[in-house]
Amino acid sequence: MRGGPILPVLVGCLALGALEARASTLSVTPFLGVSAVFDDNILATSSQRVGDWAAGFSPGIVGDYRSTHFGAAVRYSVNGEVFPNEPSLNTPLARQTGSLGLSYDLNHRLSLQASGGYTQSLYSGDILISAVETGRRRTDGYSAQFGVMQKMRMDTLSLNYGFSGVNARDLGSGQAQSLTLDWTHRLGQRTSFSLSGGPRYSDTDRRTTATVSAGVHRQLGKGGLSLTYSNGYTLLPSFGTTGNAKTQSVGASLDLRAGRSFRMSVSPGYSESVALQTKIRVFHSAVGAAYEMARWLYLQGSYNYTFQKMDFGDEFPRNIFSVGFTLTLPRKQFLAVLP
């Protein structure tokens, strides 16, 4: 994995935060999730559909650091699965994901930002922007970006450089770099519009292409509604290499709250990707709900549906049901004072 200038920027942001933080706060929150999951296509394929129940466990930790001008947020979690009827598929590392976000305020309107993330999963649909499934095989995805953001009265502008990569076992790997200009405009107190675009360079086939995306967000009385559209090229594993796939996608997200204890979300989406003269269509939808039984205990349930179809007739649906509990251990908060 080539880090380019990202690592020095991340280190630089941390150094700036350390130098200016005379008094700061650090909070650490560990959590543990346990669930029962039914997946009617655990191999994510059309040729050998196998369904089974699984017991899932998800330990993780969330950290947050804040000072006058500097902020940092980190999160890491791992997901394990135990299949009673398919013990050969048991694994403590079905998924793992980590993320880091850094920001430094030069003044009340101008800030520097950097972020990075890594995801490993047995299902490529968890990683690929197009949500295409390539069967049950280990897939790694990583990304990082840094930029500068300027806030104005009704608008926010940011310029970002980023890189990303995908590595799918037996299918190949690839990387891409991008430079994007992001613009967000507030249409009122509750509504905003965003537009993003710029060049993208693929290290795999040495091509430069353009990407564009747009979105509308509406803040509701108890929740929010978002609509998104994107058009460009994304990384898609294929036999021997991971190259460019022309991808268009639309999506929506609805979040609702009922009181202080209940939350629900619905997020349907559709994408079309063209790679190696083959069009792949994916429709996916997720419904989730969480109820706060206590300050440290949540009851959660979800349903995920995916339908994938290729031009030559290969198609399959996939349904995943999950119900379980998440235990959030008491948050540890510290006051850090530098000499």
Q: What is the pLDDT of residues 37-51, one digit of tens each?
A: 999 988 888 777 888
Answer with the residue of higher pLDDT: 245 or 63: 63
* CA distances to 48, 127, 216, 268, 316 from 307, in Å: 15, 17, 26, 12, 6
pLDDT grade for 181, boundaries at 50, 70 and 90: very high
**pLDDT over 80 (residue 252):** yes
Distance (Å, whole) CA 313 – CA 310: 6
Mean pLDDT across 100-124:
93
Mean pLDDT across 134-141:
84
CB 307 within 8 A of CB 283: yes
Q: Residue 213, SS3?
A: strand
b/e map of 212-248 (b: 16 or more CB within 10 Å)? Answer: ebebebeeeeeebbbebebebbbbbbbeeebbbbbbe
List of residues 6+ apart from 337 with CB closer than 8 A: 22, 23, 24
Q: What counts of helices (H) and strands (E) characterise the chain?
A: 1, 17
Q: Which of 128, 140, 134 is nearest to 95 (CA)?
A: 140
Output the 3-class SS for 136-181: EEEEEEEEEEEEEEEECCCEEEEEEEEEEEEEECCCEEEEEEEEEE
The top-scoring range by mean pLDDT among 21-25, 89-93, 165-169, 285-289 is 285-289
Distance (Å, whole) CA 259 – CA 261: 6
pLDDT of the residue at 149: 96
CB 200 within 8 A of CB 178: yes
Domain spans in the chain, listed from the N-terminal domain onward:
6-26+47-334
For tokens 């460009």, what's the residue? Answer: 232
**pLDDT over 50 (residue 239):** no
Average pLDDT for the chain: 86
pLDDT grade for 240, boundaries at 50, 70 and 90: very low
pLDDT grade for 188, boundaries at 50, 70 and 90: confident
Domain 6-26+47-334 has CATH 3.30.465.10: no
pLDDT of the residue at 16: 54
Answer with the residue of higher pLDDT: 303 or 86: 303
User: Which tokens sit at 10?
Assistant: 């991340």
Distance (Å, whole) CA 183 – CA 163: 20
Partners of 274 in the β-ladder: 246, 279
